Amino acid sequence: VRTATGGGTGVEAAISGLFAVGIAVGSLTAARIAGGRIALSPVPLAALGMGIFLVALGFATNGIAASATADVSLAAFLTSPRGVFIGFAVISLAAAGGLFTVPLFAAVQAVAAPERRARTIAAVSILNAVYIIDIRVPWQRKPGNLQAVIAVHCHARERPARKRLRRRSLNR
């Protein structure tokens, strides 16, 4: 955060706090939309929102670190138009992330057989970590790593699991 915004530790803490608030807003919105059911309908819109706000955040932070000679204070950051926009983009990105993640994780829990649920959730968490690492370091990955992870993920699910999800959604 410091290199992207030119801000000091106060700005770093504020951005982390805004991100946490955004995740909470997105997660609560997902729960409200679902209304106790498994609803994957907000996922595509949330993915689009994440993409839009990530690009907006990239444009907003472009060139800040290169022009900054000293750390910017929190007050100066939050009173600048660019700082306000970065704060808005961070909250929006995190809210879209919460709206994306909560329904998908609920679907994974519903689809997994009860005797394998813990293993399934652990595998999803490992895959999430692999995706994060593979996407964060695109220049250091070997060709085919991400494709291999996607292939393993896609073939790990069985067809009966999809039928169980449909049955559970229809029964509620």
Which residue in this structure is represented by tokens 């955004």? 22
Region class of 39: left (phi > 0), else alpha (psi between -120 and 50), else beta: beta
109-134 residue pLDDT tens: 888 888 988 888 888 888 777 776 65
Higher pLDDT, 165 or 25: 25
Q: When comparing pLDDT for 99 and 167, which is higher? A: 99
Q: How far apart are CA 82 and CA 164, in angstroms?
A: 48
Yes or no: say if 164 and 111 are a contact pair by the CB < 8 Å rule: yes
Span 147-158, average pLDDT: 52
Position 160, amino acid? P
What is the number of alpha carbons within 13 Å of residue 156 lying toward its C-beta?
A: 16
Q: CA 21 → CA 24, 27, 137, 143, 165, distances in Å?
A: 5, 10, 27, 37, 30
CA distances from 70 to 61, 119, 163 (A): 16, 48, 58
Confidence grade of residue 72 (pLDDT, cut at 50, 70, 90): confident
Of 2-6, 51-55, 73-77, 161-165, minimum mean pLDDT range? 161-165
**Closest of 11, 8, 145 to residue 90, by C-alpha:** 11
Q: Please say if the pLDDT value at position 22 is more than 90.
A: yes
pLDDT tens track for 86-115: 899 999 999 999 999 899 888 888 888 889
Q: Is the pLDDT of residue 15 over 70?
A: yes
Residue 150 has pLDDT above 60, yes or no: no
Q: How confident is the model at residue 9 (pLDDT cuts 50, 70, 90)?
A: confident
